[in-house]
Structure 1
Amino acid sequence: MSALRLAVVAAGLLLVWALIVRLSGVPPYILPGPELVLDAWTSHVPALARHGAVTFTEILLGLLAGTALGVVSALSVAGFRGARRWVLPVLVASQAIPVFALAPLLVLWLGYGMPSKVAMATLIIYFPVTVAFLDGLNRTDPAWLDLARTMTAGRGRAGRRAILWHVRVPAALPALASGLRVATAVAPIGAVVGEWVGSSAGLGYLMLHANGRMQIDLMFAALLTLAALSVLLYFTVDRLLRRLLPWQPERAFDRAA
């Protein structure tokens, strides 16, 4: 999506928001208008920048940690048959327990600082990255695998390792890219939930305290800042993945965007 289209979409959403506030007559302490939120944003730029930097750092570190952990887990399951019995239960358990229930425990164990928020983001990112990459590894074209087995000089474990790194991993990179896009979109959830449970900085912390003081315009300003950071991170990751995977075929929808 180009910057112009993104600006048009944002302007359209702001227009709909302003019309809803104007036509419904809803009081500002329930839904402030865009002009009130803009005033709150301009009045609290230093605080929003400081808390936004904390949240963005938590999201970025969680994205890196969750991606690394997911890639290692997928490679372990695909490359070592015995690892499947150990890794798959961890995958299931990571999604069977809601992260909202784990947030208080992580804050208790890791403290109110950044580590607990990074851990929350890592838990949310871990599953989509692992599943997407593992699915890509398992869906390698059988014809490629047969050809690789025929041409591989080494047999046994060495041959399987060579096929994994030279055939299956390159073929699975587009699937990994799809998992990374999903992970980037959901990464802010972990950081913000962790900040709501217990923190001393971050946009989630700012929203929680603004809500407690009935500063609804400031809460919306923090929410819009979080949305802007999330959109910026997503399109940055998407553009980077397109550059790193030039052989990945683009769908007609992607070319139109």
Structure 2
Amino acid sequence: MKKSPSIISELYPLSFLALLLLLWWLACALGLIPAFMLPSPGRVLAAFIGDFPLLMQNAAVSLTESAIGLSTSIAAAFFLAVAMDRFAFLRRAVYPVIVLTQTVPTIAVAPLLVLWLGYGLLPKITLIFITCFFPLVVSILSGFAAVDPDTVRLFQSMGASRRQILWQLKLPSSLESFFSGLRVSTAYSIVGAVVAEWLGGNGGLGVYMTRVRKAYAFDKMFAVIFLISGISLLAMWLVSLLQRGAMPWKHRQDTRAILK
């Protein structure tokens, strides 16, 4: 029986991760790295299990912030992308400014947001919004630009309005590009929430990370790092499921390509 290429391709990263874990365990077991600098995988797992309720409580705070920031950035990116696609002068004026904002490090903007907006929820959501907004705008605009001009002219010759061309042609054609940007932004939203929480707050994985770092509890530090990575991967997988539901024809094409 022929193995599926998708299964084989997944074995490579899993094997590499297993190798890294083995090397990590050996380095700790043989005493090559001091335990206070690099805790063993067993200690990290024990710290994760021991602090699991507290980790979940803080994860709920971070996920709430990232969900609000991501959803607002999706809405704003969609409306701005539609406006920039409709008005060429707006694209020429706004797009370079959007690119310029991405050259400013997020960690440099975070203290200013705290200074202007305080230590509540608003500066964290704003930072997540800024982090996620650019990839979404670029992905949606790229999807609009990839539409076949001949198809647009065909719609126009049949009397389709701009709104009909947008909803019936451009939006369906830009879904793949949009979901590519959404996967990136979803991961950014979680990381952005953690970075924003470093500067203060009453809860969240970033606050938890700051507290265990000050206590030199590096086993708990590694535990929360792995949790953040796991949440990001899970969120990206959920976006892939959402894309499969929104684009069933794409999934069927990929399945046929694998079976050939």
- Give TM-score, length-normalised by structure 1: 0.86
Runs of 5+ in structure 1 lacking a partner? 154-158
User: Does structure 2 retain, via aligned residues, the 8 Å contact 1:132–1:178?
Assistant: yes
**2:53 corresponds to which letter in structure 1?**
P
**Superposition misfits of 4+ residues, deviation over 4 angstroms:** 4-13, 249-252
1:114 maps to 121
Q: Which residue of 2 aligns with 1:37?
A: 44
Go from structure 1 to structure 2 and tell me whether the alpha carbon gap of 1:75 and 1:54 turns closer, same or farther (over 3 Å shift).
same
Q: Which amino acid counterpart does residue 110 of structure 2 have in structure 1?
A: A
**For residues 177 and 134 of structure 1, do their structure 2 counterparts lie closer, same or farther at Cα, with a shift above 3 Å needed?**
same
Offset, 1:89: 4.4
Q: Which residue of structure 1 lines up, in the alignment, with residue 246 of structure 2? A: 244
| Aligned-residue identity in percent | 37
User: What SS class does the counterpart of residue 78 from structure 2 fall into?
Assistant: helix
Q: How far apart, CA to CA, are the structure 2 residues paired with 1:149 and 1:101?
A: 47
Q: Residue 135 of structure 1 aligns to which amino acid in structure 2?
A: S
Q: Does 1:166 align with 2:168?
A: yes
SS of 2:85's partner is helix
- Match for residue 95 of structure 1 among 99, 102, 106: 102
RMSD: 2.5
Displacement of 1:90 = 4.0
**Structure 2 length-normalised TM:** 0.85
2:130 aligned partner: 123
Residue 96 of structure 1 aligns to a residue whose secondary structure is: coil
| Aligned positions of 1:197-212 closer than 5 A | 197-212=199-214
Give 2:228's match in structure 1, choosing from 226, 229, 247: 226
CA deviation map 1:85-109 (0-9, x unaligned) = 5532441243132221110111222
Contact 2:73/2:129 (<8 A) preserved: yes
Q: 1:128 to 1:24 in 2, by over 3 A?
A: farther
Query: How many residues get paired?
Result: 249
Structure 2: 5+ residue runs without aligned partners? 1-5
Aligned to 1:71: 78
Deviation, 1:74, is 0.7
Range with greater deviation from structure 2 (78-87 or 43-52): 78-87
- Is the 1:106–1:116 Cα contact (8 Å) retained in structure 2? yes
Match of 2:35 in 1: 28
- Post-superposition offset of 1:9: 6.8
Aligned equivalents of 2:75, 2:19: Cα separation in 1: 38
**One-letter amino acid of the structure 2 residue matched with residue 125 of structure 1:** C
